[in-house]
Amino acid sequence: MTKLEIEAGNSSPSVRFDPESGLLEIGGESYPENSKEFYRPLIGWIEEFLEASSQPVTLRLTVTYMNTSSTKYMIDILDRLEAAHDEGHAVAVEWHCDAENGRALDTIEELKEDFEMPFEVISEWREPDEW
C-alpha cells in the first residue's frame, strides 16, 4: 500500500499513514462540513491495511478539537483497531493532549475506558494559542 497523506484544512485534521512504519497520525481540529465524507474513506483505508498487513499499527492522535460527529467516527476507528487487537494484531494508541486543558484530558480518559488495547494518554505543554 502507498503512503496516505491528507493536508489539514480549516476545519479538518491532517492525516498521515506510513505503511512501512505502521504509524497513523491524525492531528489538528476536526469539525468538517461533512464528517462522513471525511472519515469514511480513511476508515476504509485502515480496514484495508489491517487485512492486508500484519505490520504493527500505532495510532498517534494530536487532535486538538473534535466535534461530536467527528468523535463518533474516531470511536469507529478505535473500534476497528480494538477488533484487530482482539485478533492478535499489534496495535497501540497514543493520544496527546494539552496539559493545561483538563477537560480534554477527561474526555480522552473517558473514551479510553471502553478499550482493552494499549492506549496511552500523553499530556504535554502547548503554546498558549494552541490547545
Partner 1 sequence: MANFDILSLRTIFEDQNVMICFNGPFSHSVIEQLGEAVKNYLRSSEAPKDRIADVFSVFVEQAQNLKNYTTRTDLQSVQHSSGAGGTLAIAHEGENYIVSSGNLVQSEDVARIRRYIDPLLEADKGELKRMYKQRLREPVEQEEGAGLGFISMARKAVEPLRYSIKEQPDGTMFFNISVVI
Binding site for partner 1 (CB under 8 A): 10-11, 31, 33, 36, 65, 67-69, 71-73, 75-76, 98, 100-104, 110, 114, 128-129, 131
Cβ 46 to partner 1, closest distance in Å?
15
Q: Per the structure block, which three cell numbers stand in for 62?
A: 494530536
Question: What burial class does residue 69 get, using C-beta atoms within 10 Å of its C-beta: 0-12 exposed, 13-18 middle, 19+ buried?
Answer: middle
CA–CA dist 48, 80 (Å, integer): 11
Cβ 73 to partner 1, closest distance in Å?
7
DSSP letter string over 68-113? HHHHHHHHHHHHHHHHHHHTT--EEEEEEEETT-HHHHHHHHHHHT
Cβ 21 to partner 1, closest distance in Å?
29
CB of 55 or CB of 71, closer to partner 1: 71
CA–CA dist 58, 21 (Å, integer): 9
CB of 88 or CB of 128, closer to partner 1: 128
Cβ 53 to partner 1, closest distance in Å?
25
CB of 42 or CB of 104, closer to partner 1: 104
